[in-house]
């Protein structure tokens, strides 16, 4: 019984800094990506992986014991200043994935933590990725998702 307690107490939590490590690896892969198509695929994969991880983490780790924070993703479209791409808050955003392509995204900007510290709007110690689009079709599809009313539920 004592051996079990000792072994259990020394076992690190599986969540311990996992997010920070995966973010660092993801940023390296993102920087190596040679095309915007590949960058966008990495972004979509990261959004899905983080949504699953963060949903599970909220259930098992107290907020004050969490290590690292998710990379913040957002999209800027003229006429709609900013849309946070958070699948936990708005799962219907996944329906936009087929429409987020190299043809609809004009520019992708990665702001790593060190750069983000200088941004007064930056949250915590997080890196961020901003997608810029002037696509009317993408703007329409976002409007059709009716995110404002879904976040009021």
CA distance 59 to 17: 16
Give residue-wise pLDDT tens across range 46-88: 999 989 888 777 767 666 666 777 899 999 988 767 899 999 8
Provide mean pLDDT across the span 5-23.
Answer: 58
Do 141 and 118 form a contact (C-beta atoms < 8 A)? no
Provide mean pLDDT across the span 2-18.
Answer: 48
* pTM greater than 0.85 (yes/no): no
Quickly state the pLDDT bin for 150 (edges 50, 70, 90). Answer: very low
In 3D, which of 59, 53, 52, 68 has the Cα closest to residue 16? 68
């Amino acid at each position: 019984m004592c051996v079990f307690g000792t072994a259990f107490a020394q076992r690190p939590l599986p969540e311990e800094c996992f997010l920070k490590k995966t973010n660092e690896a993801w940023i390296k892969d993102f920087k190596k990506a040679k095309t915007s198509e590949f960058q966008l695929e990495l972004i979509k994969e990261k959004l899905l992986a983080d949504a699953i991880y963060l949903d599970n983490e909220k259930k098992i780790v107290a907020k004050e014991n969490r290590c690292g924070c998710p990379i913040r993703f957002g999209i800027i479209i003229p006429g709609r200043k900013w849309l946070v791409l958070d699948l936990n808050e708005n799962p219907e955003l996944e329906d936009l994935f087929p429409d987020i392509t190299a043809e609809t995204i004009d520019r992708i900007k990665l702001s790593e933590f060190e750069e983000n510290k200088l941004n007064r709007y930056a949250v915590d110690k997080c890196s961020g990725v901003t997608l810029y689009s002037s696509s009317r079709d993408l703007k329409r599809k976002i409007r059709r998702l009716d995110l404002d009313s879904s976040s009021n539920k």
